[in-house]
Structure 1
Amino acid sequence: MKILVSADMEGATGVTWPADVLPGTPEWERCRPMFTSDVNAAVLGFLDGGADRVLVNEAHWSMRNLLLEQLDERAEMITGRHKTLSMVEGVQGGDVDGVAFVGYHTGAGTEGVLAHTYLANSITGVWLNGVRASEGLLNAHVVAEYGVPVVLVTGDDLTCRDAGVYAPDAVTVAVKDHVSRYAAVCRTPARTAADIRSAAKQAASLAVRKDPVRGGPYTVELEFDAEHLAMYATLVPGVERSGERRVAYTSDAMYEGIRTFKTVTTVVSSAVEEQYG
């Protein structure tokens, strides 16, 4: 059994503040061990549950945040940016039986600790075929095309609730409870590590490959906080204006859909000015 762990940082134990996830800050350095603890707990739990391979894919910001030296020696890790499937890189190999979303968060424009979708700001909402979409929902549709189920989700309590939309059978672990976008009631790392390890062991039984889902076409709509960002997004072929601050595009499969989404966010981020956005 092979498990892919997609590891984001905003939903990690103890993380509540932008500086906690911004590479290079003292707060980020402090939170890296807690982020690594969450991921390592998932690794250990899946191994407890019978997995013989666990591949961790760094999915946050620079994708160079986890402390490799603290992971169980039986795990492997993809670290660094510029990957074909970004947050779920590795699922396309054809040998993954289950995916875990560790340290995930809610989507842009919704309640949740450090809620956003790909860009920390600028995007105020994302919809997939009319359904409000988090990164978890988008990525779940990508992995479903490879016949791989999402078996574990960790993050704040609202992230766990969001997982019920796209992975209703997955085991969930809330490492903190939402108070505001920048505040939470947090459990200690020792407690969350034990909870995640136990949940991952349970989730291993759900890691059974399924028939690939061909659910397209997929229409993705994005809303921005400024009109010029919508205009700039239309530089990407196939992306059209759907409103004053909105754009939309349609893809036959989520493989193309998520790659277009990443392209749009990359292009748009280059048009954000420091003071006015």
Structure 2
Amino acid sequence: MKVYVMVDFEGATGFHEWDNCMSVDPLVVEKRNRLRKILTGEVNAAVEGLYAAGAAEIVIWDSHGPFNNCDNLYYEELNKEVWLIVGWKGLPEFFPLLDDSFSAGVYIGGHAMKGTPNAVTPHTCNELNGMKLGEVGMFAAMCGWHKVPMIFISGDSTTIEEVKQVVPDVRYAITKESFGPYAIKTRMPKKSQELIRIETEKALKNVKNIKPFVIKPPFVYKLGKNEVKGDNLRKVHFDALVGWTQFGTQEVEPELGRYDKKLNEWLKEKSFLGPDHV
């Protein structure tokens, strides 16, 4: 079996405030690097569980960015057998290489969508055919586009509840409970890793009983003021992201407004997606 693992940062054990990827403050850098090690440990725990359940190939996408160029994991500490997709500029597509050759999708470090009550660092809200989806829900939908079931999610308690609305049988590991956008009650890293390892193994062994989350075309995709219609989910998702730059991130994500100019520069270059993004 071939498994696709998408990795974000905000759902990692202990993460409780926006990380400033561009900061050179020694305390911020030290804290970020500690969290990177924790995240790497959680990815390794998932990999261990997946291999124990019979995975033959694991492809990991380090997706948190773009300001650090989606380069968060410590390569030298990852399982030597995995493949890692890293880097933002030059990606052939969003959700790179995800296709129907995969048996399952796994998400490590997920966070809740924008507007979720009591969630830690909630952001991003896509609307697809009238359904509001966060980043994890959009991953589940893209997996479903390729007939791939999303089988596991790790993150804070509000994220788990969000994902269960679209994938009721998803296995999960709660890394922390949220009190609000910047406060949590967190597990210790070793406990989170233990749970992730156990639950990913159970998830892959049960993959045949977890249905893909499928939204059928035609699609109406909304991101902020931008609305895109079409029959290809990858294309409408891409076009919505590019259209986002017409309005800037401040309208869509006030928390990210301080990075508005730089993010727009990244997206307008379109160099993170090639011509074959559909």
TM-score class, shorter-chain normalisation, is 0.7 to 0.9
Shift of 1:106: 0.9
| Counterpart Cα distance in 2 of 1:149 and 1:42 | 16
Which of 229, 234, 246 matches 1:250? Answer: 229
Q: Who is 1:95 aligned against?
A: 101
Equivalent residue, structure 2, for 1:36: 40
Show the counterpart of 1:215.
216
Where 2:110 maps in the other structure, the secondary structure is coil
Mapped partners of 1:275, 1:79: distance in 2: 21
Matched, 1:128 2:128: yes
TM-score under structure 1 length normalisation: 0.80
Contact 2:166 2:213 in 1 (8 A): no
2:180 is the alignment partner of 1:191: no
Stretches of structure 1 that go unaligned for 5 or more consecutive residues are 118-124, 224-245
Whether 1:53 aligns to 2:57 is: yes
Further displaced range: 264-273 or 5-14 = 264-273
Equivalent residue number for residue 262 of structure 1: 241
TM-score, normalised by the number of residues in structure 2: 0.80
Write the distance in 2 (CA, Å) between the matches of 1:276 and 1:174.
Answer: 31
Which of 110, 127, 130 is matched with 2:116 structurally? Answer: 110
Aligned length: 245
Q: What secondary structure, in the 3-state scheme, does the structure 1 residue paired with 2:55 have? A: coil
Two-structure CA RMSD over aligned residues (Å): 2.5
Aligned-pair CA distance for 1:41: 0.7
- Does residue 155 (structure 1) correspond to residue 162 (structure 2)? The answer is no
Aligned partners of 1:3, 1:254: CA distance in 2, in Å?
21
Q: Give 1:67's aligned residue.
A: 74
Identity of aligned residues (%): 24
Would you say the 8 A contact 2:47–2:79 is kept in 1?
Answer: yes
1:130 is aligned with what amino acid? G
| Pairing partner for 1:81 from 85, 88, 95 | 88
* 1:132 counterpart SS class: strand
2: CA distance between counterparts of 1:48 and 1:270?
Answer: 42
Q: 1:96 to 1:107 in 2, by over 3 A?
A: same
For 1:251, the aligned partner's letter is: G
Q: CA deviation at 1:253?
A: 2.5
CA offsets, 1:125-160, max 9 Å, x none? 432222221111222111111111100011100100
Whether contact under 8 Å (1:216, 1:253) holds in the other structure is: yes
